[in-house]
A and B are shown apart, each in its own frame.
Chain A
Amino acid sequence: MPAGELRLIRRRIRSVQSTRKITKAMELIAASRIMKAEQRVAQSRPYALRMAKVMANLAEATGGTAEHPLLEERDTVAASAVLVISADRGLCGAYNANVLKEADRALREMPGTEKSVVAVGRKARGYFSYRGTEVETTFEGLTDTPRYADAKEIAGYVLTRYLDGSLDRVDLVYTEFENAARQTVRRVPLLPIDTAVLATADTGKRGRGVDVTDPAEAAGADTAFEPDPEEILGELLPRGVESRVYSALLDSSASEHAERRRAMKSATDNADDLIRALTLRGNKARQAAITTEILEVVGGAEALASG
């Protein structure tokens, strides 16, 4: 039935076209979001870098003997948690799958008998609660454009749980935004704070355009403090954790938009291919129908003439 086939093909083309409109729109939205997210990452770096530097200087000034609960590794780790940053929504390629897989692995590798998850993003909550891992709490609706207040809330939650002894170790799993084409899942220890990690974690490739002096070189032995170094350390350390979480949120957000743009672009390209193939088949079907009709008309006319 050529005419029927033609109708079916036209219907499919229309449906693919409307899907394409949606994926194209999502692609464009994600693309504009990446730029903004990238800007925010860039704007947050001066603070993160200086914060890490001040911390390193301070650790140096106190002669590496600084004592603070946040710096002490606990002898026995009974309860450990993974703070994982995922997206609230899907349709962003392997973004969620990658970060959740790494979080799952981190969870298995971490010491302790009680393990739990602090989830940022709806996808992380869904993944872990489905697998029967205890999800302590979820932070939702912020991964699109994270604000510093969000980081403060998340860090505050983890810090409280750590300081009251109900968590002995916390790792952070997130997606680092290297550039628009490359995002890498990272896993870093968050608590207890490893000053060495804090001092160096953000200096490598992120040092672009900002002068980062080697902490060992900028020894703060002759630095004056007001109030005394211990008190300043007590104020500074929680902010260091907040800053770390904030950077991770911004990186993850930029990565999410980049992955979504890529996924939606390939969906749009796919739709284009599909529309092209379907149009070709449609044209063939249409011509076949016309040929059949002409044959019928000619055949009919000849039958009349000879009759």
Chain B
Amino acid sequence: MNVEIVTPERVLYAGEADMLIARGTQGEVGILDNHEPFVLALDYGELRLYHGDTVGERFAVFGGFLEVRDNVVSVLSDDAAAAGEIEVDAAAVDLERLRAQKPDADDAAGLDELHRAEVRFAVASPR
């Protein structure tokens, strides 16, 4: 199947994959070849592409949507980055700083930043 990951500013990825795993708002979802037409709201999280049984490209995706139609998976997100584009050290420093700030439960913006930093760091960390 064909996969395209598109943000408003660029096409992040376009190519083939055998399986795709994404984090939906209600849990992880796997998409295989010839999936039925499907629209999924995405949470912040890692998106993985598999070629055969091996993990290929990995991305950090911050919300958005995934649409499956005619064996084409389109991922639309405001903000997304390939794992290789994120610097692990910088992500770790960011995460430490935001954790130290300890945003409380009603600080929506602070929690959002922390959540983003966690995902960035998790995706950037080598496997």
- Shortest Cβ distance from A184 into chain B, in angstroms? 23
Q: Are the C-beta atoms of B8 and A243 separated by less than 8 Å? A: yes
Q: B45 at interface (Cβ–Cβ under 8 A)? A: no
CB neighbors of A among B67-106 (8 A): 67, 69, 74, 76, 78-79
Q: A122 at interface (Cβ–Cβ under 8 A)? A: no
**Which residues in A have their C-beta under 8 angstroms from that of B74?**
50, 54
Q: Are the C-beta atoms of A232 and B36 separated by less than 8 Å? A: no
Which interface residue of A50, A218, A242 has the most chain B CB atoms within 10 A? A50
Q: Given A43-B9, A54-B65, A226-B29 in contact, is the A232-B39 Cβ separation under 8 Å? A: yes
Q: Are the C-beta atoms of A47 and B41 separated by less than 8 Å? A: no
Q: A225 at interface (Cβ–Cβ under 8 A)? A: yes
Q: A236 at interface (Cβ–Cβ under 8 A)? A: yes
Q: Are the C-beta atoms of A47 and B40 separated by less than 8 Å? A: no
CB neighbors of B among A224-251 (8 A): 224-227, 229, 231-232, 235-236, 239, 242-243, 246
Q: A151 at interface (Cβ–Cβ under 8 A)? A: yes
**Which residues in B have their C-beta under 8 angstroms from that of A231?**
41
B30-41 near A? 1/0 per residue, CB < 8 Å: 000000111111
Q: B7 at interface (Cβ–Cβ under 8 A)? A: yes
Q: Are the C-beta atoms of B10 and A43 separated by less than 8 Å? A: yes
Q: Are the C-beta atoms of B7 and A47 separated by less than 8 Å? A: yes
Q: A148 at interface (Cβ–Cβ under 8 A)? A: yes
Q: Are the C-beta atoms of B37 and A54 separated by less than 8 Å? A: no
- Shortest Cβ distance from B3 into chain A, in angstroms? 13
Question: How far, in whole Å, are A146 and B83 apart by their CA atoms in the complex?
Answer: 25
Q: Given A50-B74, A227-B26 in contact, is the A151-B8 Cβ separation under 8 Å? A: yes
- Shortest Cβ distance from B107 into chain A, in angstroms? 18
Q: A220 at interface (Cβ–Cβ under 8 A)? A: yes
- Shortest Cβ distance from B7 into chain A, in angstroms? 6
**Which residues in A have their C-beta under 8 angstroms from that of B36?**
222-224
Q: B11 at interface (Cβ–Cβ under 8 A)? A: yes
Q: Are the C-beta atoms of A227 and B25 separated by less than 8 Å? A: yes
Q: Are the C-beta atoms of B76 and A227 separated by less than 8 Å? A: no
Shortest Cβ distance from B63 into A: residue: A235
Question: How far, in whole Å, are A47 and B4 apart by their CA atoms in the complex?
Answer: 10
Q: Are the C-beta atoms of A236 and B65 separated by less than 8 Å? A: yes
Q: Are the C-beta atoms of A226 and B78 separated by less than 8 Å? A: no
- Shortest Cβ distance from A7 into chain B, in angstroms? 56
Question: How far, in whole Å, are A223 and B39 apart by their CA atoms in the complex?
Answer: 7
**Which residues in A have their C-beta under 8 angstroms from that of B7?**
47, 148
Q: B122 at interface (Cβ–Cβ under 8 A)? A: no
Which 10 residue pairs are nearest across A and B when measured between Cβ atoms?
A223-B37, A148-B8, A47-B8, A47-B6, A224-B38, A43-B10, A226-B40, A46-B6, A225-B39, A50-B74
Show the binding face of B for A, using Cβ within 8 Å: 4, 6-11, 24-26, 29, 36-41, 64-65, 67, 69, 74, 76, 78-79
Show the binding face of A for B, using Cβ within 8 Å: 40, 43-44, 46-48, 50-51, 54, 57-58, 61, 147-148, 151-152, 218, 220, 222-227, 229, 231-232, 235-236, 239, 242-243, 246
